């Protein structure tokens, strides 16, 4: 994937009106506070993680254990940021993307008032997809409750847990690790998923063109 400032701009804000808990595939970029090179360095087009980078790598991989419904896809830790693909099962996830990422295909059976949906999850059987704070007092017999987890909550948990672990490892306290905001791009189809995976995995080899690299000069473009 060629760098495109319209797609990979680091200061993108959330898309207004989009349901980030309703299912979808997302490419996220999370940058270190102050753009410090805390996570490692690029050596011969390969990322070499230092201690903080290894901690961040583990925290990202642990997302699947913390949020069992979430499917982390490709990711890459860079010297001062992280790229990653997060897949959230739900009706908003295009079926071909679910198949391509190994995410369960979940379709709504009915839509109930208060954004409570009866779902068909092949892993656990019938569930009720519940928006935060709207769980029914008496769910139907044989139907499990599923609290909807949105992208902001997932990224927020990752940032918080990795910050605590890195600060402990570096012997510092009360320090911000990540920038307050993060970049996110909605992946719409399998073709875009494959291009995003390629861009993510090969990001270290493109470091000399990366806008987060302070040595990138004006007018320098990828070959």
Residue ranges of domains in the chain:
5-90+150-209, 105-147
Residue range 5-90+150-209 in CATH 3.30.70.1290: yes
Amino acid 62: pLDDT? 94
- pLDDT surpassing 70 at residue 76: yes
The DSSP 8-state label assigned to residue 178 in this structure reads B
Q: Are 90 and 106 in contact (CB under 8 A)?
A: yes
Neighbours of 88 (CB within 10 A): 25
What would the two tokens of residue 54 be? Answer: 């290894």
Task: Classify residue 219 by burial, with Cβ atoms within 10 Å: 0-12, 13-18, 19+.
Answer: exposed
Burial 189-201 (b: 16+ CB within 10 A, else e): eeebbebbbebbe
Counting residues of the chain whose pLDDT is more than 90, the rounded percentage is 54
Q: Are 114 and 122 in contact (CB under 8 A)?
A: no
What would the two tokens of residue 90 be? Answer: 């739900």
Amino acid 117: pLDDT? 45
Q: Using DSSP, state whether 183 is helix, strand or coil.
A: strand
Model pLDDT for residues 113-168, shown as the tens digit of each residue: 444 444 444 444 444 444 444 444 454 554 444 556 789 999 999 999 999 999 99
Amino acid 14: pLDDT? 59
pLDDT average, residue stretch 81-106: 92
Model pLDDT for residues 26-75, shown as the tens digit of each residue: 999 999 999 899 999 999 999 999 999 999 999 999 998 998 889 999 99
């Amino acid at each position: 994937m060629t760098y495109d400032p319209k797609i990979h701009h680091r200061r993108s804000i959330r898309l207004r009106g989009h349901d980030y808990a309703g299912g979808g595939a997302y490419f996220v970029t999370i940058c270190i506070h102050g753009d410090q090179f805390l996570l490692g360095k690029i050596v011969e087009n390969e990322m070499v993680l230092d201690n903080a980078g290894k901690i961040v790598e583990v925290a990202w991989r642990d997302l699947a254990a913390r949020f069992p419904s979430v499917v982390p896809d490709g990711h890459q830790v860079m010297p001062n940021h992280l790229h990653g693909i997060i897949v959230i099962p739900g009706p908003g996830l295009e079926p071909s993307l679910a198949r391509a990422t190994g995410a369960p295909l979940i379709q709504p059976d009915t839509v109930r008032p208060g954004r409570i949906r009866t779902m068909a999850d092949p892993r656990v059987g019938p569930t009720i997809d519940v928006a935060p704070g709207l769980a029914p007092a008496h769910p139907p017999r044989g139907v499990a409750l599923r609290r909807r987890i949105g992208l902001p909550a997932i990224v927020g948990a990752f940032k918080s847990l990795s910050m605590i672990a890195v600060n402990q490892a570096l012997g510092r306290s009360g320090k911000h690790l990540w920038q307050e905001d993060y970049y996110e791009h909605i992946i719409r189809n399998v073709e875009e998923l494959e291009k995003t995976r390629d861009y993510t995995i090969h990001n270290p080899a493109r470091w000399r063109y990366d806008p987060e690299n302070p040595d990138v000069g004006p007018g320098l473009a990828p070959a």
